[in-house]
């Protein structure tokens, strides 16, 4: 009976993870498509991507203040209330949060619109980026409202509105970005970049309408027969509780976004310093800086693809761990954390090694007219491993009420990153590589701090040989196979076909190596949807041996 209960919990948790993975995969594919298309549009290139991402980073900073982390907070609080049957209390948390963050989002929307010129002139030192920020500014208030809706439903462990709304938003963004940028061919590069970002605002507004309609049909039952244990709490007290958890999470997310802003600001200024003795024209220096920013944006787009898959574990962990701990079920919380950490390694290691081996072929395939940045991508791929693990552990830390830790870790890492950026990027021989190196150091610092604290709060059952060494060895084996397969096929098939074939060969070889090294235990396989059937097939293939249940 106990085993069946755990299996049901595991399947529910993994079902949410799979829903989010599918959603995030589709989102990143769509994001890759429109970035690929607009980057290769005549007159856009790395420079247009630089304008596009520079303005977006400032927008993302204010977006973080108004909404990032809010889904996790609302999800945690709502799931805790529902776990004890207090749906009326969960609904009150939603209403109070919605009013507050809508107001905050509106204030920040206005601040970005009216402050765009000051930021572009005095912080980024590239005046034309102001146009990008102005078209993005209305989106902030709608994202803030949408974030509360997503957290509300995630707390009910209903991932449909989150996955559908994010996918819809990215689909609209993809179609509209390409349409708007094409409509501006022949105009200045910064105008094309602003047109591309206008699509983001349009897509977000339409997506908000979907969430509003979903909410009207799927509100929690708050009938008069339900008595909330917290009914005597005022709205002010509830808001204080929400902010008490959301501020550390928002600060953590804010610092992570600041990491991107640090890159944008330091690359923009330090690249101009590095090349000041070569180029005397301010316009030429701005073009160099925006081109370097565009390379970083390109790499971030590719690296974020596997990270989006891994983000599903972090998102699903918050309500899952919060619910388990609310019921004082530490064993289930520990299992979910341990499995998610291990799953993150299994997912991210082949992606990182694949990017390292195929960095230049992938860039040449996706961005044929702007394929610079292979070295930056290789360094970023190593950082990606630690970023993924930190994502998962952050979800766990939020679930165990340690939301301050990611903020502290990220703050310390950001200070070191800023110092390293200022030193490294200003040297022309290092240049844009300095941003990638400093990000690597930043991610290691955050990872080590988060792991130490989480493992102390909830003991994770992670062993070096089974959970780290086997995936790493499987990944290295895959990397060697991919390297030789690409070079073999490229000699007569060309870059694009050779790269695609090598990626498929890499995926198949990695799966086989994982199975033959038995990196996954029977319990790990059973955690996966349809795990029982998969395990039976593996037993019939004699890859695994049938484990008999002990006699009682």
Number of alpha helices (DSSP H) and beta strands (DSSP E) in the chain: 20, 0
Task: Check the CA dihedral 85-102-241-238 and report its sign.
Answer: negative
Q: Alpha carbon of 288 to those of 131, 134, 248: distances in Å? A: 20, 24, 37
Q: How far is CA 453 from CA 81, 210, 408, 420, 444, in A?
A: 26, 39, 12, 26, 15
Burial class (CB in 10 A: 0-12, 13-18, 19+), 80: buried
- The alpha carbons of the chain give a radius of gyration, in whole angstroms, of 24
Return d(Cα 131, Cα 27) in angstroms, integer.
26
Tokens of residue 485, six digits: 């397969």
- Return the number of other C-beta atoms located less than 10 Å from residue 120's C-beta: 23
Mutual angle of helices 45-66 and 139-154, in 10-degree steps: 60
Question: What pLDDT does residue 5 have?
Answer: 46
- Contact at 8 Å (CB) between 237 and 37? no
Sequence-ordered strand ranges (E) for 177-234: none
Residues 6+ apart with CB under 8 A from 474: 349, 350, 510, 513, 514, 517, 519
Q: What is the C-alpha separation between 320 and 189, in angstroms, rounded?
A: 46
pLDDT value of position 31: 72
| The three-state (H, E, C) secondary structure of 257-321, written as one string | HHHHHHHHHHHHHHHHHHCCCCCCCHHHHHHHHHHHHHHHHHHHHHHHHHHHHHHHHHHHHHHHH
Interatomic CA distance for residues 440 and 386, integer angstroms? 8
Residues 133, 115: Cα–Cα separation, whole Å: 9
* The pLDDT of residue 482: 94
Which pLDDT belongs to residue 8? 47
Q: Which residues contact 534 (CB under 8 A, 6 or more apart)?
A: 525, 528
In the chain, what are the helix, strand and coil shares in percent, each to the nearest 5?
A: 80, 0, 20
Distance of CA 212 to the CA centre of its chain: 24
Residues 414-431: b if buried by 16+ CB within 10 A, e if exposed = beebbebbbebbbeeebb
Give me the tens of pLDDT residue by residue for the chain, a chain 552 residues long.
Answer: 444 444 444 555 566 666 666 776 777 777 777 777 887 787 787 777 777 777 777 777 776 666 666 777 788 788 878 877 777 888 888 888 889 889 988 998 998 899 888 888 887 777 888 888 888 888 888 988 988 898 888 888 777 888 888 888 888 888 888 888 888 887 888 888 888 888 888 998 999 999 999 988 888 776 666 666 666 777 788 888 777 777 776 776 666 666 667 777 777 777 777 777 776 677 777 777 777 777 877 888 788 778 877 766 666 655 666 666 666 667 777 777 777 788 888 888 999 999 999 999 998 888 877 778 888 889 989 998 998 888 888 777 877 777 788 888 888 888 888 898 888 888 878 878 888 888 899 889 989 998 888 888 777 777 777 778 888 999 999 999 999 999 999 888 888 899 999 999 999 999 889 888 887 777 777 766 566 777 787 788 777 776 554 444
């Amino acid at each position: 009976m106990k085993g069946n209960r755990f299996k049901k919990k595991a399947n529910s948790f993994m079902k949410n993870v799979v829903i989010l993975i599918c959603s995030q995969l589709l989102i990143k594919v769509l994001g890759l498509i429109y970035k690929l298309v607009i980057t290769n549009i005549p007159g856009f290139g790395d420079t247009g991507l630089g304008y596009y991402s520079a303005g977006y980073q400032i927008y993302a900073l204010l977006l973080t203040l108004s909404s990032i982390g809010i889904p996790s907070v609302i999800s945690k609080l709502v799931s805790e209330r529902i776990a004890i049957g207090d749906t009326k209390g969960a609904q009150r948390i939603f209403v109070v949060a919605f009013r507050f963050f809508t107001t905050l989002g509106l204030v920040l929307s206005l601040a970005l619109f009216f402050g765009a010129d000051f930021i572009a002139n005095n912080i980024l030192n590239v005046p034309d980026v102001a146009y990008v920020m102005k078209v993005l500014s209305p989106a902030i208030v709608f994202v803030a409202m949408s974030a509360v809706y997503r957290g509300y439903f995630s707390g009910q462990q209903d991932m449909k509105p989150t996955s559908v709304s994010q996918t819809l938003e990215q689909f609209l963004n993809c179609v509209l970005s390409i349409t708007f940028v094409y409509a501006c061919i022949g105009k200045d590069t910064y105008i094309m970049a602003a047109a591309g970002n206008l699509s983001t605002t349009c897509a977000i507004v339409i997506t908000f309408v979907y969430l509003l309609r979903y909410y009207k049909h799927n509100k929690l039952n708050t009938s008069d027969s339900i008595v909330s244990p917290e009914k005597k709490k005022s709205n002010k007290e509830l808001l204080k509780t929400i902010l008490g958890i959301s501020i550390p999470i928002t600060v953590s997310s804010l610092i992570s976004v600041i990491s991107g802003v640090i890159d944008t600001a330091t690359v923009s200024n330090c690249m101009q310093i590095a090349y000041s003795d070569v180029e005397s024209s301010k316009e030429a220096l701005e073009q160099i800086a925006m081109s370097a920013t565009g390379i970083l944006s390109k790499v971030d787009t590719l690296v974020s693809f596997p990270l989006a898959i891994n983000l599903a574990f972090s998102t699903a962990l918050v309500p899952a761990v919060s619910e388990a701990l609310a019921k004082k079920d530490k064993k289930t919380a520990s299992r979910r954390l341990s499995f998610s950490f291990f799953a993150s390694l299994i997912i991210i290691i082949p992606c990182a090694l694949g990017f390292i081996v195929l960095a230049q072929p992938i860039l040449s395939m996706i961005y044929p007219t702007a394929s610079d940045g292979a070295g930056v991508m290789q360094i970023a791929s190593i950082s990606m491993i630690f970023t993924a693990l930190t994502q998962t552990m952050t979800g766990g830390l939020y679930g165990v009420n340690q939301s301050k830790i990611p903020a502290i870790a990220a703050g310390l890492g950001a200070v070191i990153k800023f110092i390293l950026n200022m030193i490294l990027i200003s040297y022309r021989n290092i240049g844009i590589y300095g941003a990638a190196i400093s990000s690597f150091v930043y991610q290691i610092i955050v990872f080590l701090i988060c792991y130490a604290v989480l493992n102390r709060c909830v003991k994770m059952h992670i062993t070096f040989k089974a959970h780290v060494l086997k995936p790493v060895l499987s990944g290295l084996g895959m990397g060697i196979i991919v390297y030789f397969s690409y070079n073999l096929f490229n000699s007569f098939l060309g870059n694009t076909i050779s790269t695609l074939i090598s990626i498929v060969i890499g995926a198949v070889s990695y799966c086989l190596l994982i199975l033959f090294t038995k990196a996954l235990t029977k319990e790990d396989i059973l955690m996966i949807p349809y795990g029982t059937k998969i395990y039976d097939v593996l037993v019939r293939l004699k890859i695994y041996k049938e484990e008999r249940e002990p006699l009682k």
